[in-house]
């Protein structure tokens, strides 16, 4: 784990991200509203879900593509706590360890970023939020082509079971953005309806509909205490995100409409955690997917 980038100078006007990242082991040193980062070096859930393995190698590559971003505020602080790995296929243990680590940073009033890894990172990240804020109403906005609400087979969690796992433990507050009709069976839509999972279809994301999208997002966030944003990179078109476990020929683009909606969510003060998942460097082309994931994370760092 090493941060690097172009050196233009040490002064505040020339500073880049790699120059200010703190490599940390002590969560108590985090300051209020600082950012703390973990890598989730895991794709066991993708393998169990019959997806293309390889996302476990993504966290360090996403870091490499973050290093050159400019630092836009002298108060900005980002602390990197390294990667959590999956040993001998023990996915649930890796999720448990990430949840505990995330909770330790959140109770210090810092903001959590996780670089996946497969989308099994979502259940772990949410579990950390729940542990840190057990009485709070936590909502999840999920940019994803899939609901990820499958019922586990043989009680084995996968990258596609996280939202069902949360819902089965009690109430779930989720808004899924970018859902594809041809990527979800009627059973998955039915499960979403059964548990009250809100969703916006990919075909609804166009500029003329933006005011309605804003309203739907705002209505979802209004009753929440805490907001968590998770981005599965397979929500995007394969031309800009080829390196994922399930590429989408008809996925969304990171165009003007998407960025306006995305930044609208990032600006909400209730947002306390964000992750990117399913970047698969084995199938990426010129780091397109990793660069896009890095850029999406950086949008929050610049707010």
Whether residue 232 is annotated as binding a ligand: the answer is: yes
Contact 139, 229 (CB under 8 A): no
- The angle subtended at Cα 127 by Cα 121 and Cα 130, nearest 5°, is 145
Whether residue 80 is annotated as binding a ligand: the answer is: no
For residue 244, what are the CA distances in angstroms to 131, 227, 285? 30, 25, 11
Whether residue 119 is annotated as binding a ligand: the answer is: yes
Whether residue 255 is annotated as binding a ligand: the answer is: no
Whether residue 190 is annotated as binding a ligand: the answer is: no
Q: How many CB atoms lie within 10 A of CB 135?
A: 6
Whether residue 146 is annotated as binding a ligand: the answer is: yes
Q: For residues 67 and 29, what is the distance between their CA atoms, to the nearest angstrom?
A: 22
For residue 260, what are the CA distances in angstroms to 69, 234, 283? 20, 19, 29
| 3-state SS, residue 151 | coil
Q: Which residues, listed in sequence order, are joined to residue 143 by a DSSP beta bridge?
A: 177, 231
Phi-psi region of 24 (alpha: psi -120 to 50; beta: other; left: phi over 0): beta
Burial 259-277 (b: 16+ CB within 10 A, else e): eebbeebbeeebbbbbbbb
Residues in the annotated binding site: 119, 144, 146, 148, 232, 234
Residues in the annotated binding site for Mn(2+): 119, 144, 146, 148, 232, 234
């Amino acid at each position: 784990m090493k941060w690097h980038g172009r050196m233009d100078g040490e002064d505040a006007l020339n500073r880049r991200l790699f120059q200010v990242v703190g490599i940390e082991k002590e969560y108590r040193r985090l300051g209020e509203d600082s950012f703390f980062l973990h890598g989730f070096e895991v794709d066991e859930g993708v393998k169990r879900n019959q997806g293309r393995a390889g996302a476990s190698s993504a966290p360090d590559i996403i870091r490499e593509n973050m290093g050159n971003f400019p630092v836009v505020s002298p108060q900005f602080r980002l602390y990197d706590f390294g990667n959590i790995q999956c040993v001998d296929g023990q996915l649930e243990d890796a999720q448990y360890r990430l949840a505990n680590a995330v909770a330790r940073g959140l109770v210090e009033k810092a903001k959590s970023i996780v670089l996946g890894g497969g989308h099994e990172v979502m259940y772990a990240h949410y579990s950390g939020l729940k542990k840190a804020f057990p009485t709070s109403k936590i909502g999840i906005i999920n940019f994803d082509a899939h609901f990820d609400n499958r019922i586990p087979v043989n009680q084995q969690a996968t990258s596609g079971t996280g939202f069902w796992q949360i819902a089965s433990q009690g109430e779930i507050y989720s808004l899924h953005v970018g859902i594809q009709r041809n990527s979800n069976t009627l059973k998955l839509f039915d499960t979403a309806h059964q548990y009250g999972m809100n969703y916006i279809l990919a075909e609804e994301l166009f500029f003329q509909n933006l005011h309605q999208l804003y309203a739907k997002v705002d209505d979802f966030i209004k009753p929440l205490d805490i907001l968590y944003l998770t981005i599965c990179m397979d929500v995007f078109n394969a031309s800009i995100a080829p390196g994922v476990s399930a590429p989408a020929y008809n996925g969304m683009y990171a165009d003007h409409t998407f960025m306006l909606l995305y930044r609208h969510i990032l600006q909400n003060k209730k947002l306390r955690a964000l992750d990117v998942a399913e970047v698969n460097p084995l199938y990426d082309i010129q780091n397109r997917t990793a660069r896009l994931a890095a850029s999406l994370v950086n949008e929050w760092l610049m707010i």
